[in-house]
Structure 1
Amino acid sequence: MKNFILELILCISALSFAAPPQQKEPTVKVTFAKDLVVNGTYQKLVTSAESNSGPILYTLYDGGHLYEEIPTAINAGTYTVYYSTESTEQYESFYATATVTIGGTSQTIGAVTINEDNEKKKFVTIEGYCAADEDFKISEDFNAEKVVLTRKFDHLDVYATIFLPFEASTNQLEGISEILQFAGVTPNAETNRLQVETISIWDDSPETAPITIQANTPYIIKMKAPSLEIKGPVTFKKTKPPFQHIGNWTFVGTYTFKKWDPFYSNPYAHENEFRGRYYGFAAQDQREGKSNYIREYQTAVKAGEFVQFGIGARIHPMRAFLVYDPDGSYAAESTNSKALAKSAAYNYSSTPLDFELPYSMDVIVINRKNNTTSDIGKIDPDPNSLKKNRYYDLKGRNLHGKPKARGAYYKSL
Structure 2
Amino acid sequence: MNITGLLAWRNLWRHSRRTWLTVGAMVFCNTLLVFLIAIQLGSYRMMIDNTLSAFTGHLQVQHLGYLEEQKMRQTVPEAAALASRLAEEPHVEATAARAVTFALASSEQRSFGIQLTGVQPALETQVSSYPGLVSRGRYLQQGDDAAIVLGSILARNLKVAPGDEVTLLGSGYDGSVAAGVATVVGIIDSGLAEVDRGVAQAPLAWFQQVFALGDRAHSVVLRLDDVNRAPMLVPQIQASLPVGESLVALDWDQLQPGLREAIRSDMVSAWFMYGVLIVLVALSVLNTQLMSVLERTREFGVMLALGLRPQRLGRLVLLETIFLGLIGLLLGVALGALVVLYFDAYGFSYPGMAEAAARFNLPPRIYPQVSLLSLFLGPLTVFLGALLAAVYPALRLLRLQPVAAMRAV
Structure 2 length-normalised TM: 0.19
Of structures 1 and 2, the one scoring higher in RCO (CA 8 A, sep 6+) is 2
